[in-house]
Structure 1
Amino acid sequence: MSCPDIMYAYAPQIALDGDRLWGSLGDDHDVFFTIEQTGSSAHFDWLSDLPGTNFSGQAPDGRLYRYLNWYEGYIYNDGEEWYKVPVELPDDLSGYFAFQVRPDGLGQLHAQFHTGQGAGPVQYASLTDGEWSWEQVGVWGGSGPYAGTDAWDRPFYMRFYLSGGQARWLLSLDGESNVPVGTPDADPGFLARPPRPALGGDTPIAVLHRIPGEPLNLLSIVDSDNWSENPIAGTPELPELCDEVFSTTEAACPPCHVQAKGIEFDAYQIVQTSGGQLWGVWVVSNVDFEYVYDIEQLNDTKWKCTADLEQSSPYAETTLVVAELGSEGEIGKTLELPLETVWVDDFARRHVVASAYGDDIAVMIQTDPEDTAAAVRVLRIDTDEI
């Protein structure tokens, strides 16, 4: 997909149900679509709207749920239409974080919402006999706050926050709160979702993240005192690239050239297929990167160097990798799919989103050919065929 009127897709969205793939470029871009697949044939449709802010959860039968900021309730899809369902919630509901439904492995509805302001309580709600009730599972703060149900039917809450002056994942589970898990000061990474665990299964809570200077690591959590962290082979970090703009005390701006191969900052995801199997998804960028600069004198002792993008070559050859992951980071069957030549910005932050249903995985990858136009590649992958 090429969208020349959009400069950048900051927050793409993707989901699968039994019949179709749903997608959006997010960020109020009003770009929504579906892809229906029957056998080996697929039918693409633009949508006038995809109600809600983002996807929040999925039931075992494939029903998708979305949330809407400032709406006291949730949105679900019946296969053709989206419907709003109001919920009577506390007066101090934090509308920005909304009411995010999380079905468990039996299809029973639960939800996460936030009350109060700032670091207020996070509530985990359950629907029983048509009535919603809730209890506090933690407090808001940090990145990635997530309340859900694990494979053993236990409510849990995770957030990435400071603990003892170090940023790390904090786990609340089985009556224990804010227990640090994982290596301190690693990147937060991504928590495996839908979640749609098979009750009684053995799939741990799983996070795929980067420890600086190391390959991607799989953080697997069974309990607060039973977790492991293991590197994933063949997932090096892409090193720092050239700065697009910088200041210097020298009256010269020599070209900058980097040749490297690795995974850009956020160019990876982790998903669970419906049987609980973990899959890692990442994009390997083979970069041959060169900036040529224009120079501007700012004062007697300082000059500004700005990359001339028309004369530069900030590009990479990319390969999508989809890999079956064991709970200790071991790699099973793997798909490697060459993609197109793509533009790489100086922050090397390529967006990748993924979701799963049944044995299929949906992936959307940012593949901008230049810095002034958005493009994405959308794929649906049958893991049985890998």
Structure 2
Amino acid sequence: MPKIYNSLKGGHSYIYKHDILLLMQYNLMDGHLQANEKNFPIMAITAIYMRTKEEALNDKCELVRYDKEKFEELKNRLESKTSNMTQHNRKHRLIKKTLDEVFEKVKKLLPVNSHDPEFTGLRKHLQKFHQQTPVSQNVKYFENLVNVIDIILTDFDAFIDANPSLFRNGNDDKETLVVRLFDEVKCKHVFGYELMEELQRCGCNTVKLEEAIQAKDPTYSLLFQDVFKLLDGNPNIHFIAIPLPRTRKRAVWVPAIDGHYCISARDLVFEFVAWTVVKGLFQGASDEQRDNLMGILKGLRYLLDGYNNGYRMVLEADVKRIRKQIVDKCKAHGIAQPEHFKDIRRVIYCDTTEDGLKAELKYLGVDKVFPEILELADDVYTKPELKALRETDPYQTVENCQIQCIINRAGFTEFFVHSTTWFVR
């Protein structure tokens, strides 16, 4: 289910335009047409349709008001039509009963994708379905497929035609500015250039803002509390709260303003620290190996300093460059996953105590590398401020102890420690 975001003012719901098509497909397969193996051909063909329609957005990131009732009506209408389809109201019949006939009929229903004008993707999908269930032996199935696709795409086309502003670049509302507000534990911030684009679009004065962000890179962001000092008058701005989603060790990419993607600088540094733990690079390391690897990680300090100075997001191209630099430095110092790499044992699930945690850290050989880690393990289950370290999967607790030691030694504590949860991103 695509994410729906809320504005700080008025509690209005917003959605990324490029997620609307995904939402339409999600709603389609969440009713009468279940997302199962039987309906996979429908999912595959509608996905081709969605990718083609998405071309109109030119990869630009835009938020738009989300009208739940409007999408529910489309969902209910499609569910009614597809579930009530009978043998008598089918428009399409298979005469030749061949794969080519099915291909030509479906092809006529789809818009032309500039990246695949010959519909090779469609043919591959149909060929796969044909191999599993030959057309000549399953005429009713393929006739049903063509007719259902016709119903779906006809209603999708009608919905898009009735709501053109949802499916093209640009915002026609000159009275309301829509600006993303990235909501992190440490701070709330907005892209300076994204704010300026919206102010200019609505004819607002941008002199103060231009002075503040001149000569800054596109990813430069402003603290939320500083934004209002740079505004003239009282423009109607809807700040859309965008929490930065995270998996266990990685952040999720968020769209930048120009079709690229970016990641939080803090999350990027955390990801590199977690990577060294997952790869076991500190397991049984000598003092020299430990110090060399810590030196590489400490070299990422500039990203965190940049975070404090407005550069809180890192573009994908820069992330790739930084990753390559780290890998190259590790190779230059002979740092690699140990030959006898040890994974965390399942026994940790049977002994979730200080002793069990310390035993596992010793087994991994990180107690000699980080002598302070055993003291940390003693405190994990007793000190309230270490709550975040212990209230996880036991496997993750073992990793978290190592990550915390690395963060402390690297001097990154101020960027990752919170007064109530201790270890956060």
Q: TM-score, normalised by structure 2?
A: 0.21
Q: Greater helix percent: which structure?
A: 2
Q: Whose Rg is larger?
A: 2
Q: Pick the structure with more strand per residue.
A: 1
